[in-house]
Amino acid sequence: MNQLLVLLLTAAIAVPPPPAPPRAAALPAPVERTLDNGLRVITVEKSDVPLVAARLMVRTGAEEDTRDFAGLARLTASLLTQGTQTRSAEQIARGVEALGATLRADADWDYSAVDVDVMSTNFPKAMDYFADVVRNAVFKKEEIERVRTQSIDALTVSLQEPMTLARLVASRVIFQERPYGQAAGGTPQSLARIQREQIAGFHERNYRPDHAVLLIAGDIKPEQAFALAEKAFGTWKTERRVEGSPLPTVPQTVPAPRIVVVDMPDAGQAAVVVTRRGIPRADPLLYQALVTNSILGGGYSARLNQEIRIKRGLSYGATSFFEMRREAGPFVASTQTKNESAAEVAGILIDELDRLATADLSDKEMAPRKAVLIGNFGRALETNAGIVDRLSMLALHKLPLDEIGRYVPSVQAVSATRVREFAAASLAGNTASVVIVGDAKQFLEALRKRFPQVEVVAVAELNIDSATLRR
Amino acid sequence: MLMRNLVILSLLITSNLFALDIKPVPFRHRTLQNGLQVYSVEDHSTPAVTIQVWYRVGSKDDPPNRSGFAHLFEHMMFKSTRNMPAEMLDRLTEDVGGWNNATTFDDSTPYYEVVPSNYLETLLWAEADRMGSLVIDEATFKSERDVVKEEFRYRVLAPPYGRFYYVITQSSFAKHPYMRPGIGSIEDLDAATVEDVKQFHSTFYRPDNAILIVVGDFEQTQLDGWVNRYFSPIPKPVAPIPRVEVKEPVRSAEKRVTDRVGNVPLPGVAMTWIGPAASSPDAQALTVAAAVLGRGESSRLYQSLVYTKEIAQEVDASADLRQDLGLFAVLAVMASGHDAAEGEKVLRAEIRRMADAKISSAELEKAKNLLITDELRGRETNDGVAFALGEAIVLEGDPGAVNSGLARLQAVTAADVQRVMRKYVRNAKPVVVTYRGQEAAQ
């Protein structure tokens, strides 16, 4: 059964030389300080390449968006670089790019962030623009209109992509309402409703030093990083504390699983998504979830890709992941396949969830999948941007920064029994919903055989603003 | 850029530029008796190593009526060899915390692994093994071909603008095999056979057509010994290596192509011109020109089409310079309510402006800084360094270009940029591709 074993038993064949003893990797050593205004500053020195990456993160993102104004956090972030009290959008772009820097702002579910990446010699100058857009964005009406139009056009394009649409529908199916049921990027209708008042309000409530974390990593000494942080953000004051309404919580009632087909007759491929609710980032079961997912769909040789791509040639790739958020975000297993094989692939995805919960799991299968997690973890910390990202997520979820040193042993400690328990409790196939976006006539009959309860919505009738999915 | 497994490797699209105060890449080079070129860069900052084998064969070498074959073949290189069962490369990389992939470019096909450095010898053995032999059966071949057909659908059919790029490639060359999109077509993929795979391996996959690059945590003498042990026994075939000799004719007239596809909400327009080879002394100036036109929100195309006139949703400019010749391109995806013709008019005006007057010194410096910073980001990892070296060798024919590229970039003047815009763009004929949804086709 095992090809490698067969190989070793065949005497005439050469075998690979065995590995030498491994060397341990060094982890980044963050140092931190809190400015008088409450801004937490975390920095890591890494001097092999003359670059610096920095992020200013505020602890609120799209989860705060109301139903009417879905997309507000993202729209606000997009507008930060489009004009401040002293600089126009063009002056910001020109000044930043003259330094060879990239400056980007975006909002995720739990946070909004501005990122800068620049040669270390130009970092002090880049900090000036970076702090200016965070603190002094003015949200001019004409810039709002421009970004609104662009955002709606971009959304219109992305809604033509089968997988993008399938993921949006999947979130609606498993969460139904806000926060996570709606689209973080909003809809063309909600984006059209947002006014300057909401944008400026979001900024005033959330972009403030005692609600923010600044991360700086790269070719810079900690003392210099703290001095630049003080210079750029030390005078940043919260004029008055504006309390927003409390963050919405995810309703505890889990809706019954659904099987949904969005019929898109000109889809060049079908997007197949199997989904259910996952776990929060700070959940004690985190490492069980990570190891379980690594076995199921976290990488090239994980089970989903083995079954769907390697054994059957049904896709370019199949994958699964947990989106770790403040509250339990989605678990997603997904792939794209030719329309006629969509039903077969949906069946395989569900079967693999069940196999994980029921069949035995050998150490021989576990060990490589843990190595994948550990290898990816180490490589992500080779770049400044990777270090900033990892530390900012720990800070966001109020986890100690030294958790970075517990990642490897925590992954290693997960046993096969724990994986099976976790899979049985959290990933059983009959608790998952299925969403397929594609040319329904090519797979609907086959799909009905396995899932008689399938609902079909024509793409022209689809309403992602409602849990019914219909207008 | 086509690869075995989908990842984003933005560093692959950068050119080889390098800042003056940046440590040069201290590569060593030697040639084995069988013709294999070996480059190595010792760096102990992480306990990991990158192994790359670049073959001088790419999509331009697809056999007749077999478009997409070089890429399909690349996938087969992960199947059985004399000593390895299918997917054993994954056992030796992914299973020990590393990764592997391969990319089929127009001119070359690099295969690469990143592994904990204690696995270096194992991977050298494996790369030598698949250079020496490939054992493909009918069932494996058909299954992997289905994967590649899914990759075609994934890249070309599913994304709304997938076919746009496909048609731009097809339309931009008159004779040169660069005209064949590397992903091929379903019909040509279906026509490929196991015999084609054997033929392709024996024709192109040989030590005198390959470059081995190792970057990371190793000892030089130990590496040299392993390379001798595993690669030296591979014989150098006597048959010559076939090379593409086709010359692309000078365009005598402007050409217009229109494509219509169902799921395209906003029209697009692209204009392309034939550019010089990557090794040309004009390469850096044309790369700077593309950055001035299309890099970032302060670029000319963004400021004009997206910001001021608000007629486009997305703009791009690129100098895609390859081994034989290059393609200079500008592109716009229109904003809702605006037609491709409007975009074409402004693209033409902006192109003319680049040729009529010198760019400002601020624009020149900005473009250089952006390009240098791109290059630095690539140097953060071993595989980034190895790719920069491989591209210098394959595209520019000069490994030293990995270190001399910056001086040449720094030397570019505003007059150079104007000169190359006149030479390759204003005084040449464009191919204009418009791309529309079915509804807008009236």
- What tens digit of pLDDT does each residue of B32-57 get? 999 999 999 999 988 999 999 999 99
Chain B residues close to A375, C-beta within 8 Å: 96-99, 116
What is the Cα–Cα distance from A154 to A162, expressed in whole angstroms?
15
Distance of CA B322 to the CA centre of its chain: 8
pLDDT range class, residue B12, cuts 50, 70, 90 = very low
Domain boundaries, chain B: 32-231, 255-441
Q: Which of B376, B383, B385 would best serve as a mutation to test chain A binding (most A beta carbons within 10 A)?
A: B376
Token duo for residue B393: 């060798």
State yes or no: pLDDT of B16 exceeds 70.
no
- Which own/partner contact pairs does B394-397 have at CB distance under 8 Å and 24+ positions apart? B394/B54, B394/B56, B394/B107, B394/B108, B394/B211, B394/B323, B395/B107, B395/B108, B395/B278, B395/B279, B395/B321, B395/B322, B395/B323, B396/B16, B396/B278, B396/B279, B396/B283, B397/B279
Token duo for residue A313: 């040639």
Sign of the alpha-carbon torsion through B357, B358, B361, B365: positive
Of A20, A264, A300, the CB nearest to B118: A20
CATH of domain A259-461: 3.30.830.10
ipTM: 0.91
First to last CA, chain B: 34
CATH of domain B255-441: 3.30.830.10
What is the Cα–Cα distance from B111 to B108, expressed in whole angstroms?
10
Burial (CB count <10 Å: 0-12, 13-18, 19+), residue A9: exposed
The pLDDT tens digits of the residues spanning B197-217 come to 999 999 999 999 999 999 999
* B315, B266 Cβ separation under 8 angstroms: no
Query: Whole-structure pTM over 0.90, yes or no?
Result: yes
Q: What DSSP letter does each residue of A164-192 carry, written as one string?
A: HHHHHHHHHHHH-STTTTS-TT--HHHHH
Of B94, B142, B373, the CB nearest to A118: B373
What is the Cα–Cα distance from B120 to B29, expressed in whole angstroms?
18
What is the Cα–Cα distance from A197 to A464, expressed in whole angstroms?
25
Instruction: State whether A368 and B94 contact (CB < 8 Å).
Output: yes
The pLDDT tens digits of the residues spanning B44-100 come to 988 999 999 999 999 999 998 999 999 999 999 999 999 999 999 999 999 999 999
Of A24, A122, A300, the CB nearest to B5: A300
Of the candidate CATH numbers 3.40.50.10190, 3.90.1570.10, 3.30.830.10, 1.25.10.10, the domain formed by B32-231 belongs to 3.30.830.10
Instruction: State whether A51 and B369 contact (CB < 8 Å).
Output: no
Token duo for residue A438: 């594609």
* B386, B379 Cβ separation under 8 angstroms: no
Residues 90-119 in B contacting A (C-alpha not used; CB under 8 Å) = 90-92, 94-99, 114, 116-119
Among the ranges given (A451-460, B7-16, B146-155, B185-194), the one the predictor scored with the smallest mean pLDDT: B7-16
Number of other CB atoms surrounding residue A188 within 10 Å: 14
Consecutive 10-residue averages of pLDDT for chain A (471 residues): 40 68 79 97 94 97 95 98 98 97 96 97 97 98 97 94 97 93 94 97 95 97 98 88 70 90 96 97 96 97 97 97 96 98 98 92 93 92 95 96 94 95 94 98 98 97 93 86
Residues of chain A with CATH 3.30.830.10: 31-233, 259-461
Chain A residues close to B150, C-beta within 8 Å: 269, 309, 313-316, 336-338
Distance of CA B69 to the CA centre of its chain: 16
CATH of domain A31-233: 3.30.830.10
Residues in chain A: 471
The pLDDT tens digits of the residues spanning B381-427 come to 999 999 999 999 999 999 999 998 888 999 999 999 999 999 999 99
What is the Cα–Cα distance from A115 to A106, expressed in whole angstroms?
9
Specify the pLDDT at position A14.
73
Specify the pLDDT at position A244.
61
